[in-house]
Amino acid sequence: MMAKSAAHLLLVAIVIVTGVFFLISSWSLYHHHAFTEYNTNAISVALSTSTFHTDSNSLSTTNIKLLRNQPHSELLAFNNTNEKDIFYSNVGMNYNMARATEAMIPLWSCHSSHNENNSNNNKYTNSTSATIQQKLAFVHIFKTAGSTIRFIFEQYSKEKCIGQGWALMTRCSHATAASIQSGTAWNPCHLKEIVDRQGNHIKQPNDTTVTNELLSQNVNMFGGHIQLGSGDYLEHSNVRYMTFLRHPLSKLASAAAFTYQRDFGRPENIQVIVDKIKTQVRERMAAGQYSNGFFSYLMTPDQRAVAPRPTTGRGWLEHVDIVKRNLVHYNVVCGLVENMPQSFEILAHILDSEQSLQSFFTTALEFMTPIGDTTMNGTSQSGRQQPGMILNKSEFSTTHVLEELKKEEEFFELLIEHVKYEQMIYDFGVNMHNLQYSAIYS
């Protein structure tokens, strides 16, 4: 009897030990799986387990501290080895009139700049002045009237404000942070053309590289499809950034028409463009991809080097917050395609401190038609020929494309959903633009 009881107790003990071992193994397997799953998308998972208010305009301090404690390469953005906060986590997103007034301080005097800058060596590659220079960097976001604005900068530096210089770069939207910081050539960026300080317009060979030295010493204005913050490493320079924003729906429609014509030639009718947009948006939304045209330009090279592509709603909201903080941190001058008259007043104010070039900017504006009403042959819908100022090459107006898209209500709702994160950035930029315009007359 006692032998049977001992055997029974032994059996129970074995069952208990086995159960405990199973529980420990299961917990370890779950922990390993959870950690592995976390590491595949560290930021999104971390945010999903912390307090994130989707109706808030800010990324909470709690989230940032949580992310900093995670040992994953994707989180270098929040735990940079040199302890530089490249995401400006302490920058608020409440843009105010004081900041707008700072953004509207004129950059220079055109009357005095010619003599001062021409005291340097005549060859534009040999200027050696160590004086801190004010510079303007134009961030050209795709399909935001940037080609027209670049043309204005070229004419301004060549004829109206000789001495400031202008450099136009190409293939710069993916210039790496490492190459910009190195002080050598921006990779894969190239210099397309330059207006030197004597007003000479010089076309460049396709292999002409862009360097910090070239930009810091030889021009006070530069731009193209560059990223915000690209000029942060120029020596003896105080760089102010400017960009133009466009309503996300209009930008998307314009981009679709432009890329179709570039890749396939002139479309037979507007329905071809409409069908292309519907197909692309449906495919992208099925894959969880939202419109992200602003992010490529309004995140800095440092940020893009470490930030993973968002895959969740919280991840997209985090990227929106990053862009908003960038706009405030850099106090970016914001033009609006939908409000060119005010945008040109802002441009004239910061580039013409003595108000001596009003006729130049007024004439430039008069030659422009609303971007949405511009066709590929440079005529407005009224048929008036544009003398080279409108460089938008879309076959059909974005207004007409959007009118066609609105006819299918279910799809149009999907389209609005597709651009909603860009819409948040656009609305924030509109507020900045309005405050900056008001600051001119305050």
What does the DSSP assignment read for 286-317? HTT----TTHHHHS-HHHHHHPPPP-SHHHHH
Token output for 190 = 């190239």
Mean pLDDT value of segment 283-312: 95
How far is 52 from 89, CA to CA, in rounded Å? 15
8 Å CB contact between 432 and 339: no
The CATH number of the domain holding residue 268 is 3.40.50
Question: Is 354 contained in some domain?
Answer: yes
**Distance between alpha carbon 121 and the CA centroid of its chain, in Å?**
35
pLDDT band at 424, cuts 50/70/90?
Answer: very high
More confident call, 205 vs 297: 297
> Dihedral sign, CA of 177, 182, 188, 191?
positive
Mean pLDDT value of segment 326-331: 98
Question: Is 196 contained in some domain?
Answer: yes
Indicate whether 110 pLDDT > 80.
yes
Please tell me the predicted confidence (pLDDT) of residue 12: 54
pLDDT band at 3, cuts 50/70/90?
Answer: low
Token output for 104 = 């509207």
Residue % of the chain over a pLDDT of 90: 60
Question: Is 14 contained in some domain?
Answer: no
Indicate whether 258 pLDDT > 50.
yes
> 128: buried, middle or exposed (CB in 10 Å: 19+, 13-18, 0-12)?
exposed
Residue 12 main-chain phi, psi, to 5 deg: -65, -40
pLDDT band at 364, cuts 50/70/90?
Answer: confident
pLDDT band at 29, cuts 50/70/90?
Answer: very low
More confident call, 39 vs 289: 289
How far is 62 from 68, CA to CA, in rounded Å? 10
**Distance between alpha carbon 326 and the CA centroid of its chain, in Å?**
9
Q: How many domains does the chain have?
A: 1
Structure confidence by residue, pLDDT tens digits, 298-320: 999 999 999 989 999 999 999 99
Mean pLDDT value of segment 201-206: 86
Question: Is 30 contained in some domain?
Answer: no
pTM here is 0.77
Question: Is 177 contained in some domain?
Answer: yes
Tell me which of 46-55, 150-159, 163-172, 175-184 is least confident: 46-55
How far is 166 from 344, CA to CA, in rounded Å? 18
| Tally of residues, the chain | 442
In 3D space, the residue among 425, 426, 252, 415 whose CA is nearest the CA of residue 338 turns out to be 426
DSSP state of 240: E
For the beta carbon of residue 22, count every other beta carbon within 10 angstroms: 10
In 3D space, the residue among 101, 49, 86 whose CA is nearest the CA of residue 70 turns out to be 49
The identity of residue 258, as a single letter, is F
Please tell me the predicted confidence (pLDDT) of residue 366: 82
pLDDT band at 152, cuts 50/70/90?
Answer: very high
DSSP state of 61: H
Question: Is 277 contained in some domain?
Answer: yes
Contacts 24+ apart (CB under 8 A), 68-75: 70/38, 70/42, 70/46, 72/38, 72/39, 72/42, 74/42, 74/43, 74/306, 74/307, 74/308, 75/42, 75/43, 75/306
Please tell me the predicted confidence (pLDDT) of residue 372: 43
| DSSP H or E stretch at residue 33 | helix 2-40
pLDDT band at 84, cuts 50/70/90?
Answer: confident
DSSP state of 160: I
pLDDT band at 367, cuts 50/70/90?
Answer: confident
Domain extent for 288: 97-109+133-368+394-440
Indicate whether 51 pLDDT > 70.
no
Mean pLDDT, the chain, integer: 79
Question: Is 60 contained in some domain?
Answer: no
**Pairing mode of beta strands 221-224, 133-139:** parallel
Question: Is 375 contained in some domain?
Answer: no
How far is 276 from 73, CA to CA, in rounded Å? 37
How far is 200 from 122, CA to CA, in rounded Å? 11
